[in-house]
Amino acid sequence: MDADTRKEMLDTVTELVKLAIRAAESGHWDSALQQLDEAGVAYEKIPPVADGATGKEPRYLGLGAAIAEGKGQIGLRSGKVEAGIASLETALALRLAEEAAGGAPPPMAIPVSLVNLTGAAHSLGKADDALAYNTRAIERLRPLDAAPSRIFLAAALEARGNHMSQRGEHANAKEALLESAAIAKALAAQNMPSAAQLLTEILVAHARAAGRAGEVGDAIRLCGEAAEVSWDRFEANPQGDREAISHFVAAQMNLLGFAEQAGRFGEAEDALFKVLRLVGPDVRVIGRGKTFYETLLAMDDARLEAGNLPREEVIESYQQLAQIAKAAAERARPPA
């Protein structure tokens, strides 16, 4: 194949990939996959090595990687995890070959594939594979200074902390989560979009890791910090950041559990009613509150006093919760 024809074919594949990217960015995933399939068919017709060349050129390798990256991400999104992993592995190998051939892959291409592979492997229960991908992702992300890459680094470190915590490697988990939170806090201070949301998620993840490590006091503190960050987000944009409410609820409900575990019953009750005041008579929240108070009612008075929630207050709050549940049930009952 002559050089001009080969270039025209590479240009055609490039345009199809661009169309796929635009379709994906608009949420038209079926259209994106169709464009990528067409790109793949056209790509297969191009000779891997140009006439007179000694190896595959970076552009050829990069286009193959872009097609595989797109298919991999769509596969993961559609629940076809095994197929998604296979495509992302192909993309990763091609990006590394592109790099070795003297090309310059997009700075985030390899790290994003590794981050996606981390999550995919974890979803399949392949913890060792997930940790290996995660380690490589962090190595690739650390030298990058742009804010988007720092967000990815914080997320990758959070994932590492979670993996380590679940493996019982508590010191390593704490180190990763502290670094992750520090990066997210710095980006949030610069008003980086999504940084405050990520920070909330990191703080709750760190709280859970601290709980697994037996550091319940730290877990309570971290939940409180997560609740504060998410509430600040909600107050700053009450109509546009509804996710902040779910993060606030998650932080407070985790705080409830840890405070109960630590015998700090007054703090646990405060967390419960903060959630009820915000979301109303949610069945799951009421159920959790019912279990909480019934557990307390089985305790002796001295323990309740020590937890800053005397028996008479437990009974009063339990009755209040029952009234909330009854009123909610009556409102939900269809008219006769």
Per-residue pLDDT tens for 265-299? 999 999 999 999 998 889 999 999 999 999 999 99
Tell me the two tokens of residue 293.
């108070």
Q: What is the pLDDT of residues 296-321, one digit of tens each?
A: 999 999 999 999 999 999 999 999 99
What residues in the chain have per-residue pLDDT under 70?
A: 335-336
Of 144, 139, 86, the residue nearest 116 (C-alpha): 86
| Helical segments of the chain, H only | 3-25, 29-44, 58-77, 81-100, 109-123, 127-141, 147-166, 170-189, 195-212, 216-236, 243-261, 265-279, 283-297, 301-306, 311-332
Of 279, 278, 249, 272, the residue nearest 321 (C-alpha): 272
- Distance (Å, whole) CA 255 – CA 173: 20
Of 31, 105, 121, 107, the residue nearest 74 (C-alpha): 31
Positive or negative, the Cα torsion across 250, 256, 259, 260? negative
Q: What is the predicted pLDDT for the residue at 336?
A: 59
Cβ 196 vs Cβ 248: under 8 Å? no
* DSSP codes joined into one string, 283-320: HHHHHHHHHHHHHHHTS-HHHHHHTT--HHHHHHHHHH
